[in-house]
Amino acid sequence: MSERRKEKRYAVPEIYTKYVSLSIRKAPDEFQPVDLLDFSLEGIKIRNPSSLPMDCSIECIISIPKSLSREVSFNARIRYCVQEEGDENYLIGAEILQSGKNLWLEIFSKTHDFIKERIGKIY
């Protein structure tokens, strides 16, 4: 199978979950934390305890408390959802729909730089 992604994806090691957090809207006034596994300007891969329907739109909030003083919200469209082998969680790939490219580029750059700077120190 050939790679169809336009942008390089950057993995988020599990150890960084206390530094980079992602939540998706579960109900009108409720966001549920999910595991952010990788990201790029075009998409994200997450681990979620429940499945999400293909092509549905989700609202997400990403934050890096140690680096940014605000949260960044964006919308994404589910491209795939598969149950993890031997686990109850689902691996979900989503395409970034809307975020204001400059804003997403800012959060992406800070997240990438944060991980890159600490790769040898923590991971």
pLDDT tens by residue, 1-52: 455 656 677 788 777 777 788 999 988 889 999 999 988 878 899 999 999 9
Q: Specify the pLDDT at position 27.
A: 85
Integer CA distances (angstroms), 110 to 19, 20, 26, 121, in order: 12, 10, 26, 17
Distance CA 32, CA 92 (A): 15
pLDDT at residue 123 tops 50: no
Which residue from 90, 106, 109 is spatially nearest to 45, judged by alpha carbons? 90
Q: Specify the pLDDT at position 80.
A: 96
CATH code for 10-116? 2.40.10.220
pLDDT at residue 88 tops 70: yes
pLDDT tens by residue, 58-74: 999 888 766 555 677 88
Higher pLDDT, 45 or 105: 45
- DSSP lists the bridge partners of residue 46 as 36, 92
pTM to 2 decimal places: 0.76
